[in-house]
Amino acid sequence: MLIRVTQEILDPAEAIASVASPRAGAINVFLGVVRDNNLGRSVNFLDYEAYPSMAEKVMREIAEESVSRFGFEDVAVLHRTGRLEIGETSLLIAVSSGHRAASFDGGHWLVNEIKKRVPVWKKEVWADGESWVEGPEALGMRGPSQS
């Protein structure tokens, strides 16, 4: 089970190799990527901060829960921190599974739980300012840092 919070570039090939299993018929990989816009506003780059040791602990708990819920052969969860440019990968997950349906359903569940529970925060930086994005999907749950 590959679990990592890192400032280094995330490599999908490493995550895929880490979940390989002769019993797996399906591998699902998800990359959360920095988009050039959010809520209609143009984004220059993102700055990710984590509570790294707790983030890895929670990522491992979620990964282990996904194995028992979805019967995965193996799981990899990697989150990058620091400054990320448009197009760079902030979150990388890979799951291996006997069959494809569980790989899609469980992969989606895993990403949702990571976004809900792992202590990581992102700051959006625009041409004319910046703001911590706080809360799920940054929709209606922003903290008072929003100005």
Residues in contact with a copy of itself by CB under 8 A are 12-13, 16, 20-37, 86-87, 89, 96, 98, 100-101, 103-104, 107-108, 111
Size of the site for other proteins (CB under 8 A): 34
- Nearest distance from C-beta of residue 5 to a copy of itself, angstroms: 20
Stretch binding other proteins (CB under 8 A), from 6-14, 15-23, 45-53, 63-71: 45-53
Smallest separation (angstroms) from other proteins to the CB of 65:
14
| The one among 20, 39, 54, 86 contacting other proteins by CB under 8 A | 54
Contacts with other proteins in 85-114 (CB under 8 A)?
A: 90-91, 111, 114
CA-CA distance, 106 to 95, in Å (whole number)?
8
Q: Which phi and psi (to 5°) does residue 85 adopt?
A: -85, 165
- Taking the least distance from each CB to a copy of itself, the nearer of 19 and 50 is 19
Nearest distance from residue 55's CB to other proteins, in Å? Answer: 7
- Shortest approach of a copy of itself to residue 115 CB, angstroms? 9
